[in-house]
Amino acid sequence: MKSNDRSGLILKGDNDTNDSFHPSRLVLKEGSCLNFKILEGGDVASSNLGIVSRQFEGSISDPSVGMQRDHLKRDVLGKIYHVRPADIKDGGSGYDAHECRESRDNLEAMENPKITGNSSRVFDVLSGLVSISGVGLDQQKRRVSVSIAEASKKKNVASAPQSVTYDGRSLIVNGRRELIFSGAIHYPRSTPNQWPDLISKAKRGGLNTIETYVFWNIHEPVEGQFNFEGQYDLVKFIRLIKEHDMHVIIRLGPFIQAEWNNGGLPYWLREIPGIIFRSDNAPFKAQMQKWITKIIDMLRSSKLFAREGGPIILAQIENEYNTIQLAYKELGNSYIQWAANLAISFDVGVPWVMCKQYDAPDPVINTCNGRHCGDTFPGPNRPYKPSLWTENWTAQFRVFGDPPSQRAAEDIAFAVSRFFSKNGTLTNYYMYHGGTNFGRTAAHFVTTRYYDEAPLDEYGLQREPKWGHLKDMHRALNLCKKPLLNGVSRVEKLGIDVEARIFEGPGMCAAFLANNASILPITVKFMGNDIYLPAKSISILPDCKTVVFNSQSIASQHNSRNFERSLTSHKKELSWETYKEVQPTFDKLQLKSRIPLELFSLNKDTTDYAWYSTSVELGLRDLPFKKNIKPVLVVASLGHALVGFVNGKYVGTAHGNHVEKSFVFEKPIELRAGVNHITLLAMTVGFPDSGAYMEKRFAGPRSVEILGLNTGTLDITSNEWGHQAGLDGEKVRIYTQGGSHRVDWNKLKKNRPAISWYKAYFDPPKGTEPVAVRMNNMGKGMIWVNGKSIGRHWMSFLSPLGQPTQSEYHIPRSYMKPSDNFLVILEEEEGVRPEDIEIVTVNRDTICSYVQENAPPPVNNWEVKANKFRFVGDGKTVSQLKCPKKKKIVAVEFASFGNPIGSCSSFIPGNCSSSISKKVVEKRCLGKGSCQIPVDRAIFDDKKPDPCHNTLKTLAVQVKCATSKNKKH
């Protein structure tokens, strides 16, 4: 049994013992839940006991009163109790009792539950003792045994062979129509230590599916040499998803784009004679078929497709080919047909899709990518295919030089609700967790931090309200599941820009009420009820009467992220040493060519860097006579960046950008009579990730001239050049402990030359919070920790707001040792200050809430039982606050009931705030891990005249969470 199975436990008493069982001995993994029922009497020795196969630890709570119990009290007989997560060590926080309701309902229906299993296998840890008073015998202590009842007949989604088919309405898994809520989590962009927590949080966020690409170039960086270890262990990642009882969408490409280096294609493909990527080209098709076959065989042998009992229910071939198909003319059309035939030929037992491929050949399903597929997607190209959304962009990837970008939770919720109201049945959030572009995996100019604005940020922390608001929406859509998948749909106009989309059938009805106006709210009459619709919003009514969710009204909490300097890591200031990379000259370089060699081909994707050097002999008559006139070195480059030296002296740097890779380096230089050495360090910042004819992309110096000589412009492009791929420090692996001993390091000096290496040691911060390095006052380069690259840094490329696009760089805790972690920085620019670098911890301990009094109560106030929609809560609109695991609310930093404005960390009270707002919140929240505050005028009535009596009131709250002992990190 898996830790997150929703099974019920039955505890049977034994009158013959006075031992007691301690609830604290139960162990429960994060995100899981168990229910149990107390039955009176019985000789457990003769029972057939079903045995739990792993330990559980936690406390016992009574969901009917919502309070935790230290022991079972007098009213236990026949009641249903929860085992709930306690002190979880391996990530995440949060528990939703409603997630256990299904098994509780089944237990409630059991008068004579059937127990299955082997009676001799008494579960060791659960054979402890519980003190039960008042169960037939007053204060008698009974020995208990624990067994598992088969509380639900619903099968594990990933344990038995399953069929996956489709029709014009939805995917059909094992004969059942499904709503698919999927999130993209790319295995190489996080570490195996992070995977379980990320998957668990995705599931608790209401997802039932995880999507990932397969990244060819990391698995086969050299033809015929494969790597599926560590962060690249695709099979392990998918098996973890299976353990969480979730589905998988596998996107095989082999072209994936994904803002990933070379779109996922390995470099060596470029060197195959006659190859043309992604075209009806024999060399490319042969390699593509060979690769896809290898992956399919690996997944099939590991029994990961649904047909073999695995979690994979959907597969994708190719990726957004329509965007370039015309460039290849008829060869594009024939290629896409070939790719579809190839996919179908594998007979994997699950449907295939092509995203952004309107002419996807049968039986492949064409799907939508974008922000608003409910409005932009023309629909499937055949009536018997379902409407699927494979990339719902939760934000926008960022490139160096970009200002901050974001996409509001309200907009995503509106778009998803609209898509499902228009017969959509699958959405995949791209990304649900973006993670980190470790090493050199980012595409051209893409930041090391990837899709940080996703529901789970770069560090795996829940970004609120995005995570919580989407979770609420998923629950609301699931409440509509039966009419959505089985009802007949119709559209009813309720006014200008207002409509109802209704799904109904015998005994069922669900409705989506949309106010498409972007400015004005409106109240409409629908089925006899007045329904308030905020501007640009959709309300979901699972019974066509009750609003359980509105896309614009956020009930979930907000939070903001904090980076805090680690006191442990900086107990003593980091002691830095430096090594200056040697600049080669033409005569010392082995690889010669008449003109500068093309950079991609020179480096072969093994490094970002390559030296170019030539020598020029000048006479006195060539040089300017006036001291205030200097020659100018002009280098026209195809990308991406360049550092220039003349006679060993640094003369400057220049670079392109994501839109315009090409640039011109123009710097004044000092020349001398005699031989002058011109040395350039050219660099790429990732390969391109998209577009037609990717095998024909080029980078590096294209022409080199010296302007301003007395004898005129000197073109030295064909002067004969020497080349070296990579830096000397890279060749000796200076970023490792062993390699670092192969060069001579020096103490920091005032002069900080360009192209230098810096090293220091640090102790990791205490605790479990994520860790990052803040690159204050550095320029551009690479970062390693204990020999592992955590990506490119680029602090000097400022956004239009005058700030670096990314300042903090993630150091996974699994990359660190208990002490003396080896930090190495390669820095391309001069004058930097490594002594200002900080090791920081990352938290989201600032949490907020912003709820209007007319917002729907939390969506978990409703459920569907026995196909009937029912109310199970108190119906109050509340502000909900919950601290991260092991933390409590230690301060109320802002509270206003009235007309406050702003957002988390920047709230401002309006002109009619209740004077007792903060007092009310402190009374309900201080010292607690979580709290609820009713958004109710009576509670905030300060007995003073209300100047805004007719104004719709809002409660805005901001609190600070911390560990109870406020441990230093």
The catalytic residue positions are 320, 391
Instruction: Report residue 353 as tokens.
Output: 């899709």
**How far is the CA of 509 from the CAs of 417, 487, 530, in angstroms?**
16, 8, 18
Task: List, as one string, the DSSP characters of 597-610.
Answer: PPHHHHHTTS-SEE
Q: Are 208 and 247 in contact (CB under 8 A)?
A: yes
Q: Are 635 and 703 in contact (CB under 8 A)?
A: yes
Q: Identity (one letter) of the amino acid at 873?
A: G
Q: Identity (one letter) of the amino acid at 458?
A: E
Torsion, Cα 577 583 584 586, to 10 degrees, reads 180
Which run of H or E residues covers position 559?
Answer: strand 558-565
Which run of H or E residues covers position 829?
Answer: none
Q: CA-CA distance, 780 to 761, in Å (whole number)?
A: 21
Specify the long-range contacts of residues 325-333, CB closer than 8 Å, at least 24 apart: 327/692, 327/693, 328/278, 328/279, 328/280, 328/692, 331/279, 331/280, 331/281, 332/279, 332/280
Residue 327 DSSP one-character state: G
Instruction: Report residue 588 as tokens.
Output: 């010392």
User: Pairing state of beta strands 887-898 and 878-882?
Assistant: unpaired
Q: CA-CA distance, 800 to 570, in Å (whole number)?
A: 32
Tell me the H-state helices in 163-281.
195-204, 216-219, 234-243
**How far is the CA of 808 from the CAs of 393, 436, 564, in angstroms?**
23, 11, 11
Contacts of residue 48, Cβ cutoff 8 Å, sequence gap at least 6: 115, 116, 117, 118, 119
Q: Identity (one letter) of the amino acid at 133?
A: S
**Strand, helix or coil at 222?**
strand
Burial of residue 215, with CB atoms counted within 10 A of its CB: 0-12 exposed, 13-18 middle, 19 or more buried: buried
Q: CA-CA distance, 438 to 424, in Å (whole number)?
A: 35
**How far is the CA of 465 from the CAs of 559, 844, 849, 897, 905, in angstroms?**
7, 12, 9, 20, 13
Instruction: Name the nearest CA neighbour of 536 among 410, 649, 439, 660.
Output: 410
- Give the dihedral sign, CA 546/549/550/555: positive
Q: CA-CA distance, 610 to 648, in Å (whole number)?
A: 16
